[in-house]
Amino acid sequence: MASLSLDGLSRRFGNVTALSDVTLRVDDGEFCVLLGPSGCGKSTLLQIVAGLDRQDKGSVLLDGKVVDELPPRERDVAMVFQSYALYPHMTVSQNLGFGLRMRGIAEEQIQHKVQETARLLGIEHLLARKPRQLSGGQRQRVAMGRALVRRPRLFLLDEPLSNLDAQLRINVRLELKRLHTQINTTILYVTHDQVEAMTLGDKVVVMREGRVRQIGTPEMIYDQPADTFVATFVGSPMMNLFEGKVIREGKYLRFRCNDFSVDVRNLPKDLVGKTVEIGARPEDIEFGRNGKSNLRARVEMLSNAGAEKYVHARLGENTITVKASKDATYNAGEMTSLFIDPDKLHVFYEGKRI
Amino acid sequence: MKKGSLENGALVVGVLMAIVFSLVPFLLFVSSAFKTQTEVTAIPPQLWPSFDVDFFRSAIVRYDILGYLVNSIVVAGATTAVTILLGTLAGYALARLPRPWAHFSLMLILACAMFPQIAIVGPVWRLLRWLGWLNTYQGLVLPYVALTLPLTVWILALFFRELPEELEAAALVDGCSRIEALVKVIVPLSAPGLFTAAILTFIYAWNEFFLALLIVTDPARQTMPVGIALFQGEHTVPWGEIAAASLITTAPLVVMVLLFQQRIVTGLSAGAIKG
């Protein structure tokens, strides 16, 4: 187990900037998730930490020691690949033991550790098989096992669940979380799936175009997104964003766009007259009751998510998504009153959170 | 069935013709090898031999065909070993080099394979004389490696390229050096490609005549093709012994190709379809 620090990492491929000045710290035993759309540099980051790729600038530190000059095998990290990358010509048992064998550990001990790991993952009955005789889920477990068996200082997981079907993904996700509490190791996990990031991570790092946009707990990322990218990338259905101007109305400030206006609080006075964006999550908008309403919209359609429904409505040129109860009934074309709670508004000026 | 039967018939005829064309000379010398001296020269030619082994005995005893066979095995074996070793290293490097560079290098290598033998034989001979390698095994192995390497590198580079890079990454993280990753993960997975390259190289070195004739003049170091060509009778051409020796030369290759048929087919078609 170890802590990991990345200090100003940059990496370019020709004209493409894959990473730009990434600084990050993962504490000992922490589950850190790198979240971002494909092509945001998160996989490159993982490769650099593993020693499979070399950064142009910056340093990787394991337990406070710079490891930039060390080849992968001397870094004592393990990696689970998106394709699993199991050795097709070896049995499961040989796959699991390969890393130990390469490190010259006694055969007896290897067998013991392989058995122990197989038991932990419930793959004991598969030890004699070749990877091609395994299902997707089983391969995924073997890939996890191959990383686990060595008890490395740091685990790197590159989208390990993306090749599993939906149901299996949820199960393995829970299992992974349990495994982490059980063995309490440091994990750096890459995904583009925000649900994975939110459920697994102690810490979530949101990246875009090679830059870190926000680092924080899942709660912080969700409740206080640092910018409009994080705000819309995390959360499903995504946050409603509206562009408009801040105006002064007596003592108070209000946000006004073409279709509605709403009170905004705790804004610096110098934003008056400026164009800003406000964001409201679907669950932070209520259906107007007892005259408590600040905008009216025309229902366009209803989408059913099972445990709840979402109403998609039109407000002039904007659409707005509002969470409704499971048994809500709305007809397309119907007008409805909505209430955006000013206390739950997110305000962004030039893309950044105010 | 009815509509396609004419086309099928044409295909069958085509295949049969190809087989007959390539097999008739082969069958003729197989038949000659098992004839007696009188049968070989009989007019009209007798097709069915009496399965006499006299020619084999004479080829071995009088013409020392086994000595040539040993030379051929040593030269073709060494050529194959060296070519595969170098080809694996070069092919791997080219498979993992950035595309434009790899493409350029592969083209250059292919261009080298296009030189007609006659163009290089002079320089090669002078080079070998300067090295003092005329009439030695290595004197044949060196040019054979040079001539078989381009195709081998080409085959292996294309084969290695099909293997996912994540496999090597996994091996590196698991504690391998680059070379260990190549030996323990890439090479075992490339068996069909290696077999194909090895057999093509072996066949080339086994059958090569022109360079062997010029470089090795000492009968003690000559290979089978040269040995057979230089068979001399006092007043006659020893057709029977030549046929027997040819059969001894060809048999190992035929057996080898039949044994590894499946692997060779896989190797030759690699890259055509994924997986």
Nearest neighbour of B170 by CB, restricted to A77, A81, A103: A81
Whether residues B172 and A72 touch (CB distance < 8 A) is answered with yes
Q: Domains plus CATH for chain A?
A: 4-226 (3.40.50.300), 240-353 (2.40.50.140)
Q: Same structural domain for residues B154 and B230?
A: yes
Whether residues B170 and A73 touch (CB distance < 8 A) is answered with no
**Residue A71 above 90 pLDDT?**
yes
**Residue A311 above 60 pLDDT?**
yes
Q: Same structural domain for residues B150 and B18?
A: no
Q: Same structural domain for residues B79 and B175?
A: yes
pTM for the whole structure: 0.82
Residue B222 inside a domain? The answer is yes
**Residue A204 above 60 pLDDT?**
yes
Helices and strands (H and E) in chain B: how many: 15, 0
A73 has a chain B CB within 8 A of its CB:
yes
Longest dimension (CA), chain B: 74
Distance CA(A77)–CA(A155), nearest Å, equals: 6
User: Chain A residues with CB inside 8 Å of B172's CB?
Assistant: 51-52, 71-73
Residue B217 inside a domain? The answer is yes
Residue B62 inside a domain? The answer is no
Q: Same structural domain for residues B35 and B126?
A: no
Instruction: Kindly state the tokens that stand for A112.
Output: 């013991």
Residue B188 inside a domain? The answer is yes
Whether residues B177 and A73 touch (CB distance < 8 A) is answered with yes
**Residue B274 above 50 pLDDT?**
no
pLDDT band at B3 (very low <50, low <70, confident <90, very high): low
B184 CA: distance to closest CA in chain A (Å): 10
Q: Same structural domain for residues B74 and B30?
A: no
Complex-level ipTM beyond the 0.90 threshold: no
Whether residues A81 and B175 touch (CB distance < 8 A) is answered with no
**Residue B272 above 80 pLDDT?**
no
Q: Same structural domain for residues B135 and B186?
A: yes
CATH code where residue B242 lies: 1.10.3720.10
| Chain B CA closest to residue A99 | B174
Distance CA(A221)–CA(A203), nearest Å, equals: 9
A79 has a chain B CB within 8 A of its CB:
yes
Over residues B29-48, mean pLDDT: 82
Over residues A113-139, mean pLDDT: 92
**Residue B78 above 50 pLDDT?**
yes
Amino acid letter at A164? L
Nearest neighbour of A73 by CB, restricted to B175, B185, B189: B175
Residue B57 inside a domain? The answer is no
What pLDDT does residue B44 have? 81
Residue B274 inside a domain? The answer is no
Instruction: Kindly state the tokens that stand for B145.
Output: 């490696």
A13 CA: distance to closest CA in chain B (Å): 11
pLDDT band at B266 (very low <50, low <70, confident <90, very high): low
Q: Same structural domain for residues B153 and B253?
A: yes
Whether residues A73 and B189 touch (CB distance < 8 A) is answered with no
pLDDT band at B111 (very low <50, low <70, confident <90, very high): confident
Q: Is B191 left (phi over 0), alpha (psi -120 to 50) or beta?
A: alpha
The DSSP code for A291 is T
CB contact residues (below 8 A), chain A span 215-274, against chain B: none
Burial class (CB in 10 A: 0-12, 13-18, 19+), A129: middle
**CB neighbours of B90 closer than 8 A, spacing ≥ 6?**
B149, B153, B156, B157
Q: Same structural domain for residues B87 and B38?
A: no
Residue B177 inside a domain? The answer is yes
Q: How far is CA A21 from CA A140, A213, A264, in A?
A: 33, 11, 35
**Residue A27 above 80 pLDDT?**
yes
What pLDDT does residue A321 have? 94
Residue B273 inside a domain? The answer is no
**Angle value at C-alpha B244, between B243 and B247, nearest 5 degrees:** 85
pLDDT digits (tens, 9 = 90+) for B138-159: 999 999 999 999 999 999 998 8
| Chain B CA closest to residue A88 | B189
Angle at which helix A92-102 crosses helix A107-121, to 10 degrees, equals: 130
Query: What mean pLDDT, rounded, does chain B reach?
Result: 87
User: Chain A residues with CB inside 8 Å of B174's CB?
Assistant: 73, 78, 98-99, 102, 146, 150
pLDDT: which is higher, B148 or B97:
B148
What pLDDT does residue A220 have? 95
Distance CA(B164)–CA(B170), nearest Å, equals: 10
DSSP for B204-254 reads HHHH--HHHHHH--SGGG--HHHHHHT---SSS--HHHHHHHHHHHHHHHH
What pLDDT does residue B273 have? 39
The β-bridge partners of A287 are A338
Over residues B41-58, mean pLDDT: 82
Question: Which domain range does residue B140 map to?
Answer: 68-268
pLDDT digits (tens, 9 = 90+) for A253-292: 899 988 888 888 878 888 889 999 999 999 999 888 777 7
Least confident span in A49-53, A291-295, B153-157, B160-164? A291-295
Q: Same structural domain for residues B140 and B240?
A: yes
Nearest CA among B254, B199, B245, B202 for reference residue B74: B202
Q: Same structural domain for residues B36 and B153?
A: no
| Count of structural domains, chain B | 2
A78 CA: distance to closest CA in chain B (Å): 6
Burial class (CB in 10 A: 0-12, 13-18, 19+), A125: exposed
A70 CA: distance to closest CA in chain B (Å): 12
Q: Same structural domain for residues B104 and B218?
A: yes
CB–CB contacts below 8 A, A to B: 57
Q: Same structural domain for residues B210 and B255?
A: yes
pLDDT digits (tens, 9 = 90+) for B231-249: 865 567 788 888 888 888 8
A306 has a chain B CB within 8 A of its CB:
no
